[in-house]
């Protein structure tokens, strides 16, 4: 027996006639009759009895139909799975991300992303940019988000961005009502310093201050921006952090202001080298960009355009 014969049999059982089956299958009625006859010959028993111009299934046909229904139920489920994959509603997405995003905006991105994707399995793992790059390069994760630069030997830079860091202070700070903060404003101010685990950002902040001979009181240092904003919230000073962590600082009543000179903040979505990015990962990046548009001005750049000075 073949697929066409089984399909014709199923259509006759559902519609009750060869005419109805022909309409379901978009073939002629004689073609349906021939397929049923061929199936009966192959099975070795009759499938239908004709009474008063109507077809009635035999007991053997009823038994066969139960098996056919199970087969087509599986096909229907397979078709549904294909449609879900096509519309990005099922699958698995493993994401590793630097703390600056993993602890700030990514939970909200994940929430937005998962609202219409109940059958998607998603893993979000925070890690330093160096470790994220290693894990993505070894294909432990499908997508990574890192601060640049990182070792690119096992990676593809799928999308790179440039934005700028923000000055943060509490709402009762004397600078809270200003539109912009300049380096000179930080002289002898209590300043929470980002640690040397973020060497490029730390270097850029230090260079901006040293160029103007500015000396803040840097008595507190911590390696992660999320901890910087928490310390500022406790009234231990002001600071300069990435715009995404600054956005959650403002949600709790803090102030985020422009800082000059500009302190660039570079980051990228990365994927394993020689591995095509999945449609789910592409859609996640799109969800991130939609949310990020309301937080900071981002410029998409080439990996070669990063200013490491």
- State whether 35 and 66 are in the same domain: yes
| Residue 303 within a domain | no
Res 309 pLDDT > 80: no
Same domain, 18 and 147: no
Using DSSP bridges, classify how beta strands 217-222 and 190-194 pair: parallel, antiparallel or unpaired: parallel
Residues forming beta bridges with residue 91, ordered by sequence position: 120
Residue 69: per-residue pLDDT: 83
Q: Is there a domain that residue 108 lies in?
A: yes
Radius of gyration of the chain, Cα coordinates, nearest whole angstrom: 31
Same domain, yes or no: 179 and 250: yes
Among candidate residues 86, 107, 131, the one where a domain is terminated: 86
Say whether pLDDT at 157 is over 60: yes
Q: What local confidence, expressed as pLDDT, does residue 268 receive?
A: 96
Residue 305 is assigned to a structural domain of this protein: no
Does 31 map to a domain?
Answer: yes
Domain end residue (candidates: 53, 86, 119)? 86
Do 282 and 251 belong together in one domain?
A: no
Q: For residue 126, give the CATH number of its domain.
A: 3.40.190.10
Between CA 110 and CA 55 the distance in angstroms is 55
Q: What is the pLDDT of residue 87?
A: 43
Q: How does the average pLDDT of the chain come out, rounded?
A: 90
152 and 180 part of one domain: no
% of the chain surpassing 90 pLDDT: 67
pLDDT at site 75:
52
Same domain assignment for residues 157 and 171: no
Number of neighbours of residue 238 by Cβ within 10 angstroms: 22
Mean pLDDT of 84-94: 64
pLDDT of amino acid 287: 96
Place of tokens 């990015």: 277
- For residue 72, the model assigns a pLDDT of 73
Q: Identify the band that residue 81 occupies on the pLDDT scale cut at 50, 70 and 90.
A: very low
d(CA 271, CA 275): 7
Mean pLDDT of 152-163: 92
Tens digit of each residue's pLDDT (9 = 90 or more) over 2-49 = 888 989 989 998 998 999 999 989 999 999 999 999 999 989 899 998
Q: Looking at the structure, do residues 65 and 107 belong to the same domain, yes or no? A: no
Q: What was the pLDDT predicted at 85?
A: 46
Say whether both 78 and 104 belong to one domain.
no
Does one domain contain both 146 and 283?
Answer: yes
Domain check: are 156 and 271 in the same one? yes
Nearest Cα residue to 18 out of 2, 30, 5:
30
Ranges of beta strands (E only) in 108-165 are 119-126, 143-147, 155-164
Judged against a pLDDT cut of 50, whether residue 84 lies above it is answered with no
How far apart are the C-alpha atoms of 96 and 131, rounded to whole Å?
9
The pLDDT assigned to 249 comes to 97
Statement: residue 88 has pLDDT above 90: no
| 49-53 contact pairs (CB < 8 A, 24+) | none
Given 86, 116, 144, which residue is the final one in a domain? Answer: 86
Question: Does 309 reside within a domain?
Answer: no
Give strand pairing partners of 156: 271
DSSP β-ladder status, 264-272 and 239-241? unpaired
CATH of residue 80: 1.10.10.10
Domain membership flag for residue 247: yes
Q: How many domains does the chain have?
A: 3
Same-domain status, 154 and 281: yes
pLDDT at 237: 97
Is 258 part of any domain? yes
| 308 in any annotated domain | no
Q: What is the pLDDT of residues 91-106, one digit of tens each?
A: 899 999 999 999 999 9
pLDDT level of residue 82 (50, 70, 90 thresholds): very low
Structural domain containing residue 229:
166-262
Domain co-membership, 146 together with 179: no
- pLDDT digit string, tens, across residues 41-77: 989 899 998 887 788 889 888 888 888 888 776 555 5
């Amino acid at each position: 027996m073949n697929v066409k014969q089984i399909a014709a049999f199923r259509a006759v059982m559902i519609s009750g006639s060869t005419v109805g089956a022909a309409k379901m299958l978009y073939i002629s009625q004689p073609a349906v009759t021939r397929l049923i006859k061929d199936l009966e010959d192959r099975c070795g028993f009759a499938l239908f009895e004709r009474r008063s111009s109507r077809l009635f299934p035999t007991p053997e046909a009823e038994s066969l139909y139960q098996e056919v229904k199970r087969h087509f139920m599986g096909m229907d489920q397979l078709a549904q799975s294909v449609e879900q994959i096509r519309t990005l509603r099922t699958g698995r997405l493993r994401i590793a991300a630097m703390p600056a995003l993993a602890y700030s905006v990514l939970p909200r991105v994940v929430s937005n992303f998962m609202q219409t994707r109940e059958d998607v399995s998603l893993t979000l793992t925070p890690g330093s940019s160096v470790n994220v790059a290693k894990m993505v390069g070894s294909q432990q994760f499908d997508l990574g988000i890192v601060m640049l630069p990182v070792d690119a030997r096992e990676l593809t830079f799928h999308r790179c961005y440039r934005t700028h860091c923000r000055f943060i202070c509490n709402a009762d700070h004397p600078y809270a009502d200003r539109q912009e903060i300049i380096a000179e404003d930080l002289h002898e101010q209590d300043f929470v310093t980002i640690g040397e685990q973020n060497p490029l950002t730390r270097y850029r902040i230090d260079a901006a201050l040293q160029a103007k001979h500015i000396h803040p009181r840097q008595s507190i240092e911590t390696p992660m921006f999320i901890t910087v904003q928490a310390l500022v919230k406790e009234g231990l000073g002001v600071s300069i952090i990435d715009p995404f962590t600054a956005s959650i600082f403002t949600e709790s009543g803090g102030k985020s202001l422009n800082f000059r000179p500009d302190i660039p903040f570079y980051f990228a979505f990365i994927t394993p080298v020689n591995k095509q990015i999945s449609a789910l990962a592409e859609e996640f990046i799109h969800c991130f960009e939609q949310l990020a548009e309301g937080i900071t001005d981002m410029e998409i750049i080439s990996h070669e355009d990063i200013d490491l000075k």
